[in-house]
Amino acid sequence: MNVPYLIDTTLRDGEQMPGCVFSREEKLRIASAVAETGIGEIEAGIPVMGPTEQQDIQAIIALNLPCRITGWCRAALSDLDAAETAGLDAVHLSFPISDHHFRALGKSKNWVFQALEKVLPEALKRFDYVSVGAQDSARADRSQLFAFARRVHELGADRLRIADTVGVLNPFQTQALFEELTAAVPKLELAFHGHNDLGMATANTLAAFEGGAAAADVTAAGIGERAGNAALEQVAMTVPRLGIDTRKLSPLCDIVLPAADMQAPRCFPIIGKNIFSHESGIHVHAVLNNRTAYEPFSAADIGRTDSTRIVLGVHSGEAALRHALREIDIEPGPEPLRWLLDRIRSHALKTKRTIGLRDLRYFYYE
């Protein structure tokens, strides 16, 4: 697999978002749509959850998608058994690494290393590809984290995934951490798993790549626990070398969001409803002359069927108004349209919404 690449965990960490449940049919549609983007790997679920999850994973494997399919496992032999039952050839083994998680799980540093010595070699016997994860790496003791990384490499794991489990890193810290890890274990493939609690998951993912990470976890529309994860569409649009077909991003999110029973905020990056909408008079005047003045990419670039949309509201100017009138086959004369702008602004202030073309026609002829 060429690096760098992305690991989509919409079906695992994404579905862990409170209230999110994907049916098998939805999982198959999502997995297929993710694969169409050119993603390198799909984390398909948690096999130890039981027969239904295992059968879901089997169904995803049966699609024969052109990417690696992995399952998320705890550091336990029972999880390896479940992953084998699910038919997986690749697994990700997650180990707690911070004092916060030791206290929460009743574990210790000694337990982590003992479990690593027991479970990792067994996993390497059973599976073609084994990734190891360090949960809560961001808050772990650095000497302990580096010792863990070195032992993971010595035992022969294919990859070490560094998790900012509660999203507390910033991009400068993330890049520095990966530069240090790359220097400490230069032959071990590194990956990053970023959460968005402080709103920096996407930025931290980019910083991880700059620091030497070969891969990173993402979810469609950034769904996931609490504030979610790094969003696939945001990372893909900002790191072209990942080779993602960006035209497949919006269609993917259009599948995932309804399945997760949610909508993206109007101003959400890449996929928000307002991304190609303009109201401000100065912006509209420029966009009507050159769309790229205020649009860094086109709707077609991300697979959206809409295009630049001029809306009328309290901030609109005459250029937007004349454009909207022409859309309803009204060609105003050269006389100023201040009277109509005042009417529109008054209505927008009163209703706190934009003005539709039907209302515009009424106001014009009124």
Q: Of 259, 286, 318, which closes a domain?
A: 259
Residue 268 placed within a domain: no
Mean pLDDT of 280-284: 80
Q: Which two tokens stand for residue 140?
A: 């772990």
Q: Of 232, 259, 286, which closes a domain?
A: 259
d(CA 159, CA 336): 66
Q: What's the number of domains the chain is made of?
A: 2
Confidence of residue 327 (pLDDT cuts 50, 70, 90): confident
Mean pLDDT of 38-44: 98
pLDDT of residue 288: 81
Q: What is the mean pLDDT of the chain?
A: 94
In a shared domain, residues 84 and 222: yes
Confidence of residue 365 (pLDDT cuts 50, 70, 90): confident
Q: Does the pLDDT of residue 162 top 70, yes or no? A: yes
CA proximity to 230, closest of 46, 21, 40, 6: 6
CA angle 165, 43, 243 (to 5 degrees): 95
4 Ramachandran zone, left/alpha/beta (phi>0; psi -120 to 50): beta
Q: Please give the backbone phi and psi of residue 176, each rounded to the nearest 5 degrees, phi first.
A: -65, -40
Please report where in the chains the tokens 């089997």 appear, as a residue.
58
Q: Does the pLDDT of residue 2 top 60, yes or no? A: no
In a shared domain, residues 118 and 233: yes
Peptide bond into 4 cis (omega under 30): yes
The percent of residues above 90 in pLDDT, for the chain, comes to 77
Burial class (CB in 10 A: 0-12, 13-18, 19+), 305: exposed
Read off the pLDDT of residues 200-239 as tens digits, 9 standing for 90 and up: 999 999 999 999 999 999 999 999 999 999 999 999 999 9
pLDDT higher at 315 or 138: 138
Mean pLDDT of 38-65: 98
Crossing angle of helices 24-36/51-61, nearest 10°?
A: 40
In a shared domain, residues 199 and 316: no
pLDDT of residue 354: 87
Q: Does the pLDDT of residue 1 top 70, yes or no? A: no
Confidence of residue 172 (pLDDT cuts 50, 70, 90): very high
CATH code: domain of residue 32? 3.20.20.70
Confidence of residue 147 (pLDDT cuts 50, 70, 90): very high
Mean pLDDT of 334-358: 86
Do the Cβ atoms of 164 and 173 come closer than 8 Å?
no
Mean pLDDT of 333-362: 86
Residue 68 placed within a domain: yes
Q: State which amino acid sits at residue 120.
A: L
CA angle 88, 4, 196 (to 5 degrees): 80
In a shared domain, residues 199 and 147: yes
Q: Residue 81: CB partners within 8 Å, gap ≥ 6?
A: none
Domain range holding 208?
5-259
Confidence of residue 100 (pLDDT cuts 50, 70, 90): very high
In a shared domain, residues 78 and 207: yes
In a shared domain, residues 91 and 131: yes
This prediction's pTM: 0.91
